[in-house]
Chain A
């Protein structure tokens, strides 16, 4: 692939990026500085129950299928006549009312599998088939984009998620690291020792850089997060946002949340799942707050590996299903209604007679956002970023 040729004409116009794009001799448009567009992907691990995230209150079958775990109609936060949000998603609801959050209520990965681990692999690798790809689609998107712009990504947490693995080096950060004077001295020794171990060498160099950046951002916020990691979803997100808005900071961040595997005692307006949804809401709210004016150039995607069974199971929970809800938020979104079609919960519509059926491939949303928000060209999206995904066409109309 030649340098710069991966920028589509549209992206070139947007960014005023003329690198190697000969048909645009003198861009007259005001240039958006490199890396100003932000993308945050929140992976909700464990199969988040879409029918509780965005209860389809107007669907005639919802209440009966769900029984005790149906979110009561008087508790939901209404989006329109048909859909609503879980009562714990108040911040996302407020964003939705101002046109800065939307839901895609029936999305799924390309294969019908019900293993968490295989499904997370597929969601993050961006592959069409299992076990084909060992790198993540966001990393491959970066490798396409990095040719023309200074763009990097940050993994938030102590582990590096598959979605960000690949040829492009990424940063990772989690609360609690603090580089002292002693460590500075030892770190130069270690840099030499790691020279013969490429994996450790790269990781260490990048880690020290990120910690230096964190240090520059000021200590208070960091200490607070470190002290109470479990209760500080909001602060955690604010800090992530600060990384994104640093000069030279990353454009992309990935946050993993877990605890969504609610096989028993799922709860409804309150309870187990509600607590985890509150976490998600806090994270989105923290990003909104921390990004400040950069929010208007941001898209946040919250996605899970698959949904849960349409019917309540025998233990007050739900088992592994198929389609679930994806949440889109951010000031860069185009105002609009739900994304994709609603398959309905009628018996005949359920997939395998048990799950909400998908009407949209997650890759279609990812591709639409990467193309229209991050400026990737369609050919790269159908090729290296989401191989063999020609039949999952990028969704139009997501970005303002």
Chain B
């Protein structure tokens, strides 16, 4: 069913955007598609905050932590995780407790940095007047996941998103792929920084060797997809080509510290063959050429198109929509601004039934937007509730990122937790400037159904009315 005109703006702000803020529906109403397209920007996504430290500074904090807990290597290598505590037998209980306490203290600056990132990003999402632009950025950040569940990438997951993802989300996919692959966040998260070719100098003299994690996930998750027909040999070959992609250590020259650094002494010499194509020896350029071919592959276009359609429209997306997005990717050479416009122009994306179930992050963000508010306490309002709802920002459990499927989020226990959050949230944030039914109308527009409207009108208190709005099927879905 194609949406009526008056339904279109409601879909624009809830399905494409992040949920309406109080005046947003009227802003989108005149020209919903134009409102969305005006958010497609060659500058990329908005940035959460200008004052957050970048990768180099954050890695310096991490290096400080590592040296305090005694694991920073003499050569300045920074990709080592801290070793375990000295074996219990050699320490008294008191020494052990002191050791743990010191280690915990040393970790504080690292954790605070992560918390600042989570807070800034969530505040941006709750406040922005360009929510489609932000949703588009969140999609790509999730597609190229770097998670805080590993300590060594935790420290740079936020800077990674700000530096490698956000500037490129409306540019060429290839540029986004290359930026993500070369960023220290990704190199640390998927263990690339110390991967060495067996026949490289480091392989021969320092007994370093290959790690195929990043190569595999680039092929499987970031580009052509697991069903693209590549083999273990292709993964290994790509991993060999990627050797040398590394990071400047903290005892190296100042202008390389904490930055991408190609290390020829780690690079496996020789020609590589990946998915039937030959790549002559060429140092850093060898993997770069493979990335370019992966980005240009029709399989990547299809993989990306399908993921976008699933994210924006339905868990089982209309094949026609997937085809349109794929074609726009191929016609434009992977120009993501072009793909974003194609999405907005696809009639299949505007069906009036809302088939997407919000993730916890989307739910909480849209709750604040409905209230016309932003969180003011990082720990209590953002980190704790989202951890409890199962989606601590930047902490996807695996490299495939957060699921976009309702089956993963609409579990029984999870819905009860949303109700718990909704009642607590409403106790502080239920808007009191307007009648609850008008708040509901400003939030959902024509998507608000008669049953929910009646239930909200009949509620005993503003708190209860707002809780019902947040928990209504219309609000839970988009």
CA A367 – CA B344 in complex, angstroms?
Answer: 49
Instruction: Find residues 459-478 in chain B having any chain A CB closer than 8 Å to their own CB.
Output: 459-460, 463-464, 467-468, 471-473, 476-477
**A154-184, CB under 8 A of B: which get 1 and which 0?**
0101111000010000111110111110110
Pair B191/A264 contact, Cβ less than 8 Å: yes
CB distance from A211 to the nearest CB of B (A): 5
Q: How far is the CA of A375 from the CA of B380 in the complex (A)?
A: 48
Closest Cβ–Cβ distance, residue B235 to chain A (whole Å): 8
Chain A residue with the shortest CB-CB distance to B214? A263
Among B405-440, those with CB < 8 Å from A are: 406-417, 419-420, 423
Known: A200-B476, A204-B415, A207-B413. A193 touches B451 (CB 8 A): yes
Do A258 and B398 touch across chains, with their CB atoms under 8 A apart? yes
Q: Which residues of B contact A203 (CB under 8 A)?
A: 410-412, 414-415
Neighbouring A residues of B467 by C-beta, 8 Å: 182, 186
Q: Which residue of A lies closest to B196 (CB)?
A: A314
The verdict on B339 contacting chain A, using a C-beta distance below 8 Å, is no
Question: Within the assembled complex, what's the spacing in Å between the Cα atoms of A264 and B187?
Answer: 12
Contacts of A274 in B (CB 8 A): 84
Taken together as a complex, chains A and B put the C-alpha atoms of A174 and B87 apart, in Å, by: 34
What is the minimal beta-carbon distance from A69 to any residue of chain B, in angstroms? 13
Contacts of A271 in B (CB 8 A): 83-84
Contact B84 A174, beta carbon cutoff 8 Å: no
**Number of A-B residue pairs at CB separation under 8 A:** 191
Q: Which of B84, B411, B423 contacts A158 (CB 8 A)?
A: B411
Q: Is B81 an interface residue (CB 8 A)?
A: yes
Q: Is A45 an interface residue (CB 8 A)?
A: yes
Closest to B86 in A: A270
Contact call A190/B471, Cβ cutoff below 8 A: yes
Residue contact A317 to B211, C-beta cutoff 8 Å: yes
Among B387, B390, B391, B397, residue most surrounded by chain A Cβ atoms (within 10 Å): B397
In the complex, B91 has a CB within 8 A of chain A: no
B335 an interface residue at 8 Å Cβ cutoff? Answer: no
Q: For residue A334, give the distance in angstroms from its CB to the closest CB of chain B.
A: 34
B209 within 8 A of A: yes
What are the interface flags for B219-256 relative to A under an 8 Å C-beta threshold, 1 for contact and 0 otherwise? 01000001100001001000000000000000000000
Select from chain A the residue with minimum beta-carbon distance to B409. Answer: A159
A113 vs chain B, min Cβ distance (A): 8
Contacts of B387 in A (CB 8 A): 229
CB closest residue in chain A, given B464: A186
A216 within 8 A of B: no
Q: What's the nearest-Cβ distance from chain B to residue A273, in Å?
A: 11
User: Is B366 interfacial (CB 8 A cutoff)?
Assistant: no
Q: Contacts A189-B468, A193-B451, A313-B209 known; A158 to B419 CB distance under 8 Å?
A: no
Q: Which of B290-331 contact A (CB under 8 A)?
A: none
Q: Is the CB of B423 within 8 A of A45?
A: no
B413 A189 Cβ-Cβ under 8 A:
no
Name the residue of chain B whose CB is nearest to the CB of A169: B412
| Bound form: Cα–Cα A271–B212 in Å | 21
Q: Which of A114-122, A290-298, A323-331, A389-397 has 4 or more CB atoms under 8 Å from chain B?
A: A114-122
> CB of A187 within 8 A of chain B?
yes
Closest partner residue, chain B, to A194 (CB atom): B473
Which residue of chain B has the shortest Cβ distance to A311 in the bound complex? B209
User: Does A383 touch B at the CB level, under 8 Å?
Assistant: no
| Docked-complex contact B194 and A190, CB < 8 angstroms | no
Interface residue? B452 (CB, 8 A):
yes
Taking a contact as CB atoms under 8 Å apart, the answer to whether A165 and B468 are in contact is no
Chain A 205-235 residues near chain B, CB threshold 8 A:
205-208, 210-211, 229
Bound complex: CA A185 to CA B471 (Å): 13
In the assembled complex, the CB of A303 is this many whole angstroms from the nearest CB of chain B, namely 17
Indicate whether A61 reaches chain B with its CB closer than 8 angstroms. Answer: no
Please tell me if A99 contacts chain B, counting CB pairs below 8 Å: no
Q: With CB as the reference atom, state the residue of chain A lying closest to B211.
A: A315
A114 and B84 contacting across the interface, CB-CB below 8 Å:
no
Contacts of A359 on B, CB cut-off 8 Å? Answer: none
Q: Are B416 and A204 in contact (CB under 8 A)?
A: yes
Interface string of B71-85 (1 = CB under 8 A from A): 000000001110111
Residue of B nearest to A312 (CB): B209
Asked if A265 CB lies within 8 Å of chain B CBs, one says: yes
| A173 and B413 contact, CB distance less than 8 A | yes
Give A182 to B400 CA distance when docked, in angstroms: 38
Bound complex: CA A202 to CA B415 (Å): 10
A207→B416 contact, CB < 8 A: yes
Residue ID in chain A nearest B416 by CB atoms: A207
The answer to the question of A320 belonging to the interface, with a C-beta cut-off of 8 Å to chain B, is yes
Cβ of A199 < 8 Å from any Cβ of B? yes
Chain A residues with Cβ below 8 Å from B411 are 155, 158-160, 172, 203, 207
Contact in complex: B416, A267 (CB < 8 Å): no
A74 within 8 A of B: no
Contact A117 B419 (CB under 8 A): no
Nearest to A170 among chain B residues (CB) is: B412
Question: B403 in the interface, Cβ–Cβ < 8 Å?
Answer: yes
Q: How far is the CA of A229 from the CA of B390 in the complex (A)?
A: 11
Contact across chains for B476 and A196 when beta carbons are under 8 A apart? no
A275 located at the interface, meaning its Cβ lies under 8 Å from any Cβ of chain B in the complex: yes
Contacts of A314 in B (CB 8 A): 194-196, 198, 203, 208-211
Chain B residues within 8 Å of A116, by CB: 398-400
Contact B413 A174 (CB under 8 A): yes
With beta carbons under 8 angstroms apart, the residue of A46, A189, A263, A267 that contacts B398 is: A46
Interface residue? B67 (CB, 8 A): no
Chain B residues within 8 Å of A, Cβ to Cβ = 79-81, 83-85, 87, 149, 190-191, 194-196, 198, 203, 208-213, 216, 220, 226-227, 232, 235, 357, 387-391, 397-400, 403, 406-417, 419-420, 423, 449, 451-452, 455, 459-460, 463-464, 467-468, 471-473, 476-477
Can you name 28 A-B pairs with beta carbons within 8 Å? Answer: A115-B220, A116-B399, A160-B407, A160-B408, A160-B414, A171-B413, A177-B416, A177-B420, A185-B460, A189-B468, A190-B471, A196-B473, A199-B406, A207-B411, A207-B415, A210-B412, A211-B416, A258-B149, A261-B213, A263-B190, A264-B191, A265-B80, A270-B84, A271-B84, A313-B210, A314-B210, A314-B211, A315-B195
Given contacts A207-B416, A264-B211, A319-B213, 13 further A-B contacts (CB under 8 A): A116-B400, A158-B414, A172-B412, A182-B464, A189-B455, A192-B455, A193-B473, A200-B415, A210-B416, A211-B416, A258-B149, A263-B190, A263-B213
Shortest 7 CB-CB distances between A and B: which pairs? A314-B209, A158-B390, A207-B412, A270-B84, A160-B411, A206-B412, A207-B416
